Structure 1
């Protein structure tokens, strides 16, 4: 059985023989594609481990390698990646779910109320695997991934950039209470012409996002089961900052999901020990450097993967990480060409309303 999807401008085919294919296609975060005449950018197959056909040249503890592809072992699944660096070839991903036979782990998960299906899908659709690979597929199309959030309306398309906890999500959801539409949170897709694409990656909602009372988040939380709400509030009471991954479509109405929009306003958010908010314009070179650092810190699994090939052999077709960085920054320079960016350095407890007030000035 094969299905077709799009994530941003990339076309993805999904094929499965494994019993988890139905679950996988349910959780898959792309938009269903009816017109199948487009070229496929990424092919994903969900297969039984007995279908493994990878023939490695080099071995390590959790990764197997050829000169241009790799096979990786994760806790709930294995996967292989081919054609990740050839611009004229379709990237091929094969996912091999593991059958969990660890009785102690099953009992522990049952006691803790862990949804095994959700745990499995969250591991696949994380920076540990899918979104890291997807970020490299974007480079093949002269596009980049950014760690940011974006909203748009008929008058302004705003891109927020920064590291985790800087206020991107809470500020975006405060703006969504008005006439702004949602484009992305956490994983943004930008093309070299300065356009932003809607991305369906599941958002991570923290208690720190909820505390400002944004209506969409409050409604989402109130719709959780009583058991989940009690568990959440208990973690808060004990000093935690609980988190839940959820599809944007579970939080927002379909009419609040935006479409491809050109970047008009850029705000890079930083929290520090300053006493009041400081705003200053930054040049393109600084913006590119900050954006790369804020984004690629999320892709730590790639550092492990790309260190292996050059440890076992210098005769391979893997790019060095410095080459990936160079290509990213080259495209980012095009993305941000003729764009004005403001750095907002803020006290730790700055609220979304205070950030929005600065946007209006």
Structure 2
């Protein structure tokens, strides 16, 4: 058995070109861990936040890193080896996971042929979908699920003093902004699955897909600002977030809620209070238990993973360049030979 593997690593912060495909030490599972032979890797915004040195975070939040490091969290693959104390998995099992997030902001080490995963963060891959689609699910789908359905943990909320609480969805009207992206296309489906009337906001080229995923109404933001068009909403899930999220406050009824998936920079707290609107966010966390719960929904097509594009692991820099262009439809996935 070789003690090296191929991986895509960072030796410095910067643009997509700092991602280097090279030999790296092959990890060995420690207590409570499973070694997974990776078949596909889903890429997510924290991957490029890490790559550029977390410039968007306040300096005191930026993790201390030592190079070289392997980015990435979302994997689908096959169990290669298990620690002696792991009982729930066997060699040969097909599995998927979001690895070490947010516990290790210095990278979950997923951009590689092999990765060690805590058994608590792992679940059997849905048999009805392939590795590419399974790798596209974990972070984005867990984000939508933890925001909209069930937090699934008791960890303190780093983004606000109070615990995030999902709101009832059945019979409610939910607007999803940035509806075609990774989290957005799952938020549309989860809200619909839970009985909401869903209004999807994206550019016009995504309308057919989003209606196919269950959106009841569609707003092309390139033609009309959604905040000028709708009123009396129960919930807005803003996948763009940031300072601009405050524009949605006037679309909500008193007692409604605004969930900015990216809450940093939000500047509408006083207006929200005066309108009787709750603003809440959470930090997605790894959960094998929730991935296990979600697997049947992925398996039978109740929730679909939309793939924007795929790239070989060796071309991770091209995948990051694609991400930088924006207007992603669903997920970008790396394939591992």
Which TM class, normalised by the smaller chain length?
Answer: 0.3 to 0.5
Which fold has the larger relative contact order, with Cα–Cα distance below 8 Å and residues 6 or more apart in sequence? Answer: 2
Q: Could you say which structure has the higher helix fraction?
A: 1
Normalised by the length of structure 1, the TM-score is 0.31
Structure 2 length normalisation: TM-score? 0.32
Q: Quick check: which has more Rg, 1 or 2?
A: 1
